[in-house]
């Protein structure tokens, strides 16, 4: 029937999937939340966003309705990962987004909306690594049978992919929300670094898995998650470029400095401990200052609001 046919006279499945993901992130909606709204599994929505499944016209309408937009507007969403000047909606507006039906601030870290099986997989991946974890050990942690795990997830690889998707979603919306809160270039950089540091301390388990288990992904999954990581790096690169053009940063090596800043933040799960002498908030403030030092900040006045 025409209502269920695939969208043919338009972008490729890869491009359409990328657009759906960008629209979802712009709306501040998690992968699992959008999947719930349209009545499919997170794995099915992930397959749509990665271009592995063609997007039917009926599904496109459901996604647009769930994101409170229209199919035409959804398909017209531009990419968010340009390394140039941030778009208007990134430059302005409050530092919060609508996530899971509630207004969320990027500095607030509540419980993640995950089921017991995925929670058990995350715990197992942290404790024993991906290769040390088994579906049986995950089932035991979740308190269900092995067939019960397979009822929800097809494989251990799928659990890892969804874990990393969850991590990248949570990080990306926070980074974009932090950027929206800034009124000038250097404040944008500072807040984005704070967002990176806060994520890698508050969500240290997800960040630890992201840093240690990329090697465990199958090639196609590794390429896709790597693109999401590059997207985050490009957002930071673009904010730094903008601040340099405004004369607020003087580093002659912006790309090297940006990667040093990212590495500084991604290494936090290796040593940070909840309940230790430093809080995530203190670390985030200090790392933001470290970042401005690396970038040769040249203040012409007080920094923008926190």
Residue 243 domain flag: yes
The answer to whether residues 71 and 189 belong to one domain is no
> What's the Rg (C-alpha) of the chain?
20
Per-residue buried b or exposed e for 15-42, using 16+ beta carbons within 10 Å of the residue's own CB: ebbbbbbbbbbbbbbbbbbbbbbbebbb
Residue 35 domain flag: yes
Residue 54: predicted pLDDT:
83
Long-range contact list for 191-195, CB < 8 A, 24+ apart? 191/95, 191/288, 191/306, 192/235, 192/236, 192/239, 193/236, 193/261, 193/265, 193/284, 193/287, 193/288, 193/291, 194/107, 194/284, 194/285, 194/287, 194/288, 195/106, 195/107, 195/171, 195/284
Q: What is the C-alpha separation between 156 and 149, in angstroms, rounded?
A: 10
Residue 302 domain flag: no
Residue 253: predicted pLDDT:
97
The answer to whether residues 65 and 175 belong to one domain is no
The answer to whether residues 168 and 272 belong to one domain is yes
Residue 175: predicted pLDDT:
94
**Of the residues 45, 79, 113, the one at which a domain ends:** 79
The answer to whether residues 73 and 167 belong to one domain is no
Residue 49: predicted pLDDT:
84
Residue 277 domain flag: yes
Low-confidence ranges of the chain (pLDDT < 70): 1-11, 77-103, 300-306
Q: What is the CATH number of the domain that holds 51?
A: 1.10.260.40
Two tokens, residue 97: 């987004």
Residue 77: predicted pLDDT:
59
Q: What is the CATH number of the domain that holds 181?
A: 1.10.357.10
Q: What is the C-alpha separation between 66 and 68, in angstroms, rounded?
A: 5
The answer to whether residues 182 and 70 belong to one domain is no
Residue 80: predicted pLDDT:
44
The answer to whether residues 164 and 290 belong to one domain is yes
- Is residue 39 within 8 A of residue 5, CB to CB? The reply is no
The answer to whether residues 271 and 164 belong to one domain is yes
Going by their DSSP bridges, the two strands 96-99 and 102-105 should be labelled as antiparallel
Residue 203 domain flag: yes
**Of the residues 79, 109, 130, the one at which a domain ends:** 79
Residue 134 domain flag: no
Q: What are phi and psi of 272, to 5 degrees?
A: -70, 135
The answer to whether residues 172 and 285 belong to one domain is yes
- Number of structural domains, the chain? 2
220-249 pLDDT per residue, tens: 999 989 999 999 999 999 999 999 999 999
Residue 92 domain flag: no
Q: Sign (positive/negative) of CA torsion 145, 151, 153, 154?
A: positive
Two tokens, residue 224: 């896709």
Boundaries of domain holding 219: 160-294
Phi-psi category of residue 164: left, alpha or beta, with phi > 0 → left and psi -120 to 50 → alpha: alpha
**Of the residues 79, 108, 137, the one at which a domain ends:** 79
Residue 110 domain flag: no
């Amino acid at each position: 029937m025409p209502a269920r046919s695939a969208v043919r006279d338009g972008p490729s499945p890869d491009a359409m999937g990328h657009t759906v993901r960008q629209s979802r992130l712009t709306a501040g909606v998690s992968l699992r939340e959008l999947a719930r709204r349209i009545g499919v599994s997170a794995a099915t929505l992930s397959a749509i966003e990665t271009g592995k499944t063609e997007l039917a016209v009926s599904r496109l309408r459901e996604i647009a309705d769930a994101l409170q937009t229209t199919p035409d507007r959804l398909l017209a969403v531009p990419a968010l990962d340009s390394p140039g000047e941030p778009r208007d909606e990134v430059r302005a507006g409050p530092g919060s987004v609508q996530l899971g039906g509630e207004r969320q601030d990027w500095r607030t870290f509540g419980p993640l909306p995950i089921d017991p099986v995925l929670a058990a997989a995350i715990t197992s991946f942290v404790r024993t690594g991906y290769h040390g974890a088994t579906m049986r050990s995950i089932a035991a942690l979740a308190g269900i049978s092995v067939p019960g795990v397979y009822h929800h997830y097809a494989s251990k690889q799928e659990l890892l992919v969804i874990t990393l998707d969850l991590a990248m979603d949570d990080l990306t919306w926070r980074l974009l929300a932090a950027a929206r809160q800034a009124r000038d270039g250097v404040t944008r950089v500072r807040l984005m670094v704070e967002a990176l540091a806060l994520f890698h301390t508050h969500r240290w388990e997800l960040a630890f898995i992201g840093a240690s288990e990329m090697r465990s992904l199958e090639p196609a999954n590794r390429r896709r998650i790597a693109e999401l990581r590059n997207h985050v790096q490009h957002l930071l690169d673009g904010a730094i470029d903008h601040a340099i053009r405004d004369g607020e940063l003087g580093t002659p090596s912006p790309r090297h400095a940006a990667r040093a800043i990212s590495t500084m933040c991604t290494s936090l799960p290796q040593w940070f401990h909840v309940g230790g002498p430093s809080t995530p908030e203190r670390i985030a403030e200090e790392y933001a200052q470290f970042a401005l030092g690396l970038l040769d900040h040249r203040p012409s006045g007080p920094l923008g609001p926190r």
